[in-house]
Structure formats: C-alpha cells, structure tokens
Chain A
C-alpha cells in the first residue's frame, strides 16, 4: 500500500481531535451509567431505615412486613403487610405472561418462518407499534372497555380485577417478546433450514423442531425481558386492577401491585417517615427483581450467540 505521509503537525492535531472526540463519546456512554448508579444509590439509601433504623423499625421492618396480612399504611396503627402486594404482583404478572408468551412467540415464528416478505413488512412494525402506545392509554382502554367486556364473559363480582389488568399488561409486553424472539429466529442460519427441508421435513416441522430449538436462548431472553417489563409496569395495573390489597389466588379478585402502590402513595408521604422508607424499600425490591431478570436475559443472549456462531 502506498501511503502519503501527512505532515507531522497536521497529524498531531488530528490525533488530538480524535482523542477529544473519543473522550466526548466516552463521557456520553458513562453519563448513562452514572445516572443508573445515582438512582440505585438514592433508592437504596432511602430504603435503608427499614433495615437498620430502630425508630423506623417500630413501624416498618422486614418482620412486620410479614406479620400482618393488611396493607393499610395510613391510620393510627399503620400496617405494612407485603403479602397482598407480593401475591398481587405475582398474580398479574403470571396472567400477563400466560397471555402474552404464546401469542408473541407464535407470532414471531409465523413472521420469521412462514410470512411472505410483504406480509412480514406490515406485521412486524404493526406489532412493534403496540410498544409505542403510552401505557396510560392502554390502562385507560382496559379500565373503560376491556373491563366491561371481560365482566360480561366471566361474570366476575369485581369489574376491575387481576385478569383485566393481566391481559392489558400482556398486550403491553407482547411487542418486547415478539421483537427479540423474531430477531433470534431470523438469526438462525439458512443452512439449518435447508438441511432440514432437504431431509424431507415439512416447513412446520422445520420451524418447530429445528429453528425454534436453535433460537431457544434468544426466545427465552425475549420472554425474560417481557417479564421484567411486566413486573415494573405501573400505569396499566394502577388503572385496571382496582388496587384492593387482597391476598388470594382468585384471578377475578382485585389486586394491588408493588409498582401501583408506589405510584399511588409516594406523592403523599412525608419525606423520611416509615411509610416513605417502606415505599422506597418496595422500589428497591422491584429494582432488584428486574435487575436479576435482565442479567438472566443477557446470559441467554450470550448463549444464543455462541451457539449460532459455533454452528
């Protein structure tokens, strides 16, 4: 290669400029990390008294969280029972995932394996557009329309209940699962499918027994990211679940979730009170749960990459 040697001072200036640019980019990248760290420190700091401050622990401590089945934080004797909130969150999220996972994964299989290019061009953006609907609009829809319709079908006593909120929440997480799963399926090398078809398998057998297993880690990652979003989603459940803190397994009972409790109550509490610390403790709990789920999803993506690269 014949290179023209630039004059020395020009090169030095260029290097300095490059360094500056690199520094700016690095600063941008780490400002997001700094934001994350600051939020984590803040949330955990405000939750601290629940674990270590004796004055706060007279009202709210880990033991007290499970000593009472009632969540009634305002009153002469405040009660901070977490059981109804934990079961409520679990119930809504489970319903949302039961509803969303089969729909999203099968839609992804169709889009990646069967849909003609023109159908896919419409289908994929349309499903992903679901993610663009503000969750408050989704919640409003669930509150006004979905709840009445579901009550007509299930004849539930409570119009707003875990099922209503779960289905609305499911609609909210479908795009997350679909997008990741579809990308994973499309990343399966052509040679896999060609080999399978060449051996005489039908397109459906190929999709179900070859493509889907090959992309399973990616699909799992999509499901986990959807799960993390469902656990943390606030507005949909706040509007559609009825927010009654009931501990029960019945999907037709109203539920109160961790995230909705924070949203409904944080605006009112006096800064530094046990109620305030408890809400931050709930926030820290939610953060830990979604963080662990995200880490697991990351591990699955890594596994998928290795598997497909090794093929």
Chain B
C-alpha cells in the first residue's frame, strides 16, 4: 500500500503544478466576475451582450445563466447573483423579501423591448386572433380550431413552466390573472415550446419573438374592431403590437464600478443595436 501512495505523490505534485500554472496563465482579472442570471427569454441576449462587452474590455468576466425570471429574482434575493435578468416586473412580495434581506427595494433598469408572439404550426390555416380569443384558448373555453375559423381539430396547448417570466406576463396580461387550462403542456424553455409546436399541426404556443423559428407567428388584434398586427420591429417599437413588454435588469443597489460600466454599455447605442441584431427591440 505504502508503495502505491508514494507513486501517487509525483502525480499529485504534477497536478498541483498544472493547476497553479493554468491559474497564473489566466489573464489578470481586472475585477470581480459579474454574474447575470434569470429569464430564459433573455439568456441569448445576455450572452451576446456579455461576449461583446468582454471583447471590448479584456480581463472582465461576465457569466450569464438562465433558469427563468423567477429563478433570477430568487437568486437576487438570496444574494447569489449580481444582475437579475427578468422578462416581467418584480412583484411586491419579492421586493419586500429583498428589503428584508438587503434593506433595498432593488434597482430596475429596462434594457430592451420584446414582442411576445403567439405562434402555431406552419400548416395551420388560422392567421389572426384577437386577444380575447387567445385568452379563451388558454383558459380552455375555446378548444377546437374551427371555433376560431380553422380546421376541425382539438387545439393542443403548449406553454412555459411557472418559473418563467413569460408565464407570468402571459397570465397577467392575456389571461387577466386567471388560471391557465389544466391541459397546457409545460416545457422547460422557450426553445422547447417552439420545437414542440413545430412538430404538432394542432399546437399553439407563446414566447419571446426572437425564438419563433420554424413556426408561424399569429397576427394579433387588440379587439374585434382593430386591425391584425404581426410582431415586427416597427409594431413592437411603436406599441401597435398589443403583446409587447419591457425586459429588465434588476440589481440590489445602484450599479458601481465594472457592473455600472456593463449596464451603461448595454443601454448605449452599441448595446441596443446588438439587442435588435439578436431579434429584440431597442428601447428608443
């Protein structure tokens, strides 16, 4: 036995040396790494911002992860992230919890705009819905496509998990706070919902506009009298598309140092331009 352990010593020494060397070889950190966590809708956007910003500022490290707006806000409250990305506004009870822990109500920074698109399979004949129809579909009172002018087939509902800001936004702004039908199949992540709808001729889903690839966006009418509007840069920007929302950064306190530099850059024309390249919409 002793023999074996002795043999391990040089190996262990080598590993330690390697670890030290690789650590030393990393670029000297200009500051602490900034952690960004939250909305799955915003994860790609956040990563692009972080990549570009890290390119511009050698040595700065920004780590972006998803999990859902609720996850990000919980992380902000639990003190495990610097910036929370959220696709919905923080709720009152969440603000109170943050105040209990950190004596602050948090800082809200709108960083981009997003159109929440409602989409269906490419073969679906229905091209437009009123908000009330979307609402009834997701409440489960409209169950067949022929009730909204389509073929005779049961509507298959897809949606997000309840940790998602998109779920919260949809529940509040489309369903008026009422409960989703129990028949909504929930999938982890917007991309999974898009994938499911793209495979299901009778499916309907909702999510951030940037993700709607392989499915067809529904034109939305505010009510029976208004015109049908597709989610495009122009309609989300001018507010004529009824299902648009702001995307936020939340911080515990006013940003300082590297975090402030990052937030300022995100709000700068460069950062906003990147947002529209990824498929979101600039604030201005």
Chain A residues within CB distance 8 Å of chain B: 69-76, 79, 84, 148, 157-160, 238, 242-247, 254, 256, 264-265, 267-271
Q: Assess whether A158 is in contact with B71, with CB atoms less than 8 Å apart.
A: no
Q: How many residue pairs between the two chains, A and B, have CB atoms under 8 Å in the bound complex?
A: 82
B199 in complex: contacting residue of A159, A254, A265, CB < 8 Å: A159
Is B53 an interface position by the 8 A CB rule? Answer: no
Chain B: minimal CB distance from A159 (Å): 6
Taken together as a complex, chains A and B put the C-alpha atoms of A75 and B78 apart, in Å, by 21
Closest B residue to A264 by beta carbon equals: B161
B residues 122-153 with Cβ under 8 Å of A?
none
B residues 159-197 with Cβ under 8 Å of A?
161-163, 167-168, 171, 177, 179-180, 182-188, 196
Q: Assess whether A70 is in contact with B179, with CB atoms less than 8 Å apart.
A: yes
Q: Assess whether B187 is in contact with A243, with CB atoms less than 8 Å apart.
A: yes
A244 in complex: contacting residue of B97, B168, B182, CB < 8 Å: B182
Query: A244 contacts which chain B residues (CB < 8 A)?
Result: 157, 182-186
Is B70 an interface position by the 8 A CB rule? Answer: yes
Q: Assess whether B177 is in contact with A75, with CB atoms less than 8 Å apart.
A: yes
Q: Assess whether A271 is in contact with B183, with CB atoms less than 8 Å apart.
A: no
Is B200 an interface position by the 8 A CB rule? Answer: yes
Query: A268 contacts which chain B residues (CB < 8 A)?
Result: 67-68, 70-71, 74, 161-163
Q: Assess whether A267 is in contact with B179, with CB atoms less than 8 Å apart.
A: no
- Decide: A73 near B162, CB < 8 A? Known: A267-B68, A268-B68, A270-B74: yes
Is B108 an interface position by the 8 A CB rule? Answer: no
Is B156 an interface position by the 8 A CB rule? Answer: yes
Total interface residues on B, CB under 8 Å, equals: 32
Query: B71 contacts which chain A residues (CB < 8 A)?
Result: 267-268
Q: Assess whether A76 is in contact with B74, with CB atoms less than 8 Å apart.
A: no
Q: Assess whether B168 is in contact with A242, with CB atoms less than 8 Å apart.
A: no
Q: Assess whether A148 is in contact with B199, with CB atoms less than 8 Å apart.
A: yes
Q: Which of A79, A159, A265, A268 has the largest count of B CB atoms less than 10 A from its CB? A: A268
Q: Assess whether A246 is in contact with B182, with CB atoms less than 8 Å apart.
A: yes
B196 in complex: contacting residue of A74, A159, A238, A267, CB < 8 Å: A159
Query: B103 contacts which chain A residues (CB < 8 A)?
Result: none
Q: Assess whether B188 is in contact with A238, with CB atoms less than 8 Å apart.
A: yes
Query: B162 contacts which chain A residues (CB < 8 A)?
Result: 72-74, 264-265, 268
- Decide: A72 near B180, CB < 8 A? Known: A148-B199, A157-B202, A268-B163: yes
Taken together as a complex, chains A and B put the C-alpha atoms of A264 and B159 apart, in Å, by 13
Q: Assess whether B77 is in contact with A157, with CB atoms less than 8 Å apart.
A: no
Taken together as a complex, chains A and B put the C-alpha atoms of A246 and B157 apart, in Å, by 13
Q: Assess whether B183 is in contact with A267, with CB atoms less than 8 Å apart.
A: no
Q: Assess whether A271 is in contact with B74, with CB atoms less than 8 Å apart.
A: yes
